[in-house]
Amino acid sequence: MRFAALSVLAALGLLQGTPALAGSATAGSIMSKQAAIAIATSSMPAGNSVSRVQCTTMVRALSARYRCTVW
């Protein structure tokens, strides 16, 4: 019983994303890193321009997913 409760708490902690930053946008794509950047860029607040890009590639079971944040 205790293990199940700890497992649930650990899963909830892993599911939380990084905190949002003002003037930034994060998006994911299964197609390509460029697609994730394009989606995130289109979600930027009006009037902001992209000055920094950070991407993470996650691979599981021979399938890649890209998550990019633009500032």
- The string of pLDDT tens digits covering residues 4-19 is 443 443 443 433 445 5
Q: Which tokens hold the place of 44?
A: 């930027």
Region 49-62: what's the mean pLDDT? 96
- pLDDT at res. 11: 44
Q: Are 69 and 53 in contact (CB under 8 A)?
A: yes
- pLDDT at res. 1: 53
Residue among 27, 18, 25 at smallest CA distance from 46: 25
Q: How far apart are CA 33 and CA 36, in angstroms?
A: 5
- pLDDT at res. 19: 57
Q: Which tokens hold the place of 64?
A: 């890649």
